[in-house]
Amino acid sequence: MRIELSGTGRRFNQDWIFRRADLSFTSGEAYALTGPNGSGKSTLLQVIGGLMQPSEGKVTYHQDDKTVAPESIFQHVALAAPYLEVIEEFTATEFLEFHRRFKPLRAGRSVQEIVDRIGLAGAAHKQIRQYSSGMKQRVKLAQAFYSDTPVLLLDEPTSNLDATGIQLYKDLVAEEGAGRLLIVCSNDPVEYEFCNTVLSVMDYKPATTRR
């Protein structure tokens, strides 16, 4: 998978979050998007992933040298982010079973195996609304890492995780990230230390908004 941004920008009302971004992202590489809090990292990530349309320029997606149709982009992208909601009336098992109807699991993985791997086997029968914030984050990471997609987008992936959860995140990157296009949106080097390219959203700010 290859994602290309050409003269891409996004604004809310009259305020430009970023402008004139010319970027290329390729499978097998890991990228970090950095910048101060409130600088627009998450907005840029959502534009890259097709969750938000650009206000100018374009974003194109290529798989096996063929352009991916806009209505099919969601099949190629998985996202874990603090602002994404999970269905709290489901158990973790039910949620992952529901999610796999839209995006198949990576080859050789089962829902039960995934629940065990993320350390929630003992709570698999509980509704997600009974989970702690850290347990919910593990569920969000699981649905992203174990979706069979070439693109994996991670926005502040260790939010609400303790030391054990952070190590789980690192292990999932090593186990499930190889060969995929990974983009991590973060200000914490712990979350993106494996990335070989680090980009700052501040480089794509209009001059009058830079700090």
CB half-sphere exposure, 17, CA atoms < 13 A: 24
Dihedrals φ, ψ of 195, to 5°?
Answer: -75, 135
Interval 62-97: pLDDT, tens: 998 899 998 899 999 999 999 999 999 999 999 999
Q: What CATH code is carried by the domain that includes residue 143? A: 3.40.50.300
Q: Is the Cβ–Cβ distance between 114 and 138 less than 8 Å?
A: no
Start-to-end CA span in the chain (Å): 34
Instruction: Please give the residue range of the domain that contains residue 166.
Output: 2-209
3 state DSSP class of 119: coil
The structure tokens 């952070």 sit at 166
Task: Say how many domains are in the chain.
Answer: 1
Query: What's the rounded mean pLDDT across residues 11-37?
Result: 96
Residue 48 has pLDDT above 50, yes or no: yes
Residues 6+ away with beta carbon under 8 Å from 95: 86, 87, 128, 139, 143
**DSSP characters over 31-85:** EEEE-STTSSHHHHHHHHTTSS--SEEEEEEEETTEEPPGGGGGGGEEEE-TT--
- Model confidence, pTM: 0.94
CA separation (Å) from 26 to 84, 151, 178, 189? Answer: 25, 9, 12, 21
pLDDT interval class at 209 (50, 70, 90) = low
Residue 137 has pLDDT above 90, yes or no: yes
Nearest to 160 by CA among 144, 136, 180: 136
Pairing between β-strand 181-185 and β-strand 30-34 as defined by DSSP bridges: parallel
Interval 154-182: pLDDT, tens: 999 999 999 999 999 999 999 999 999 99
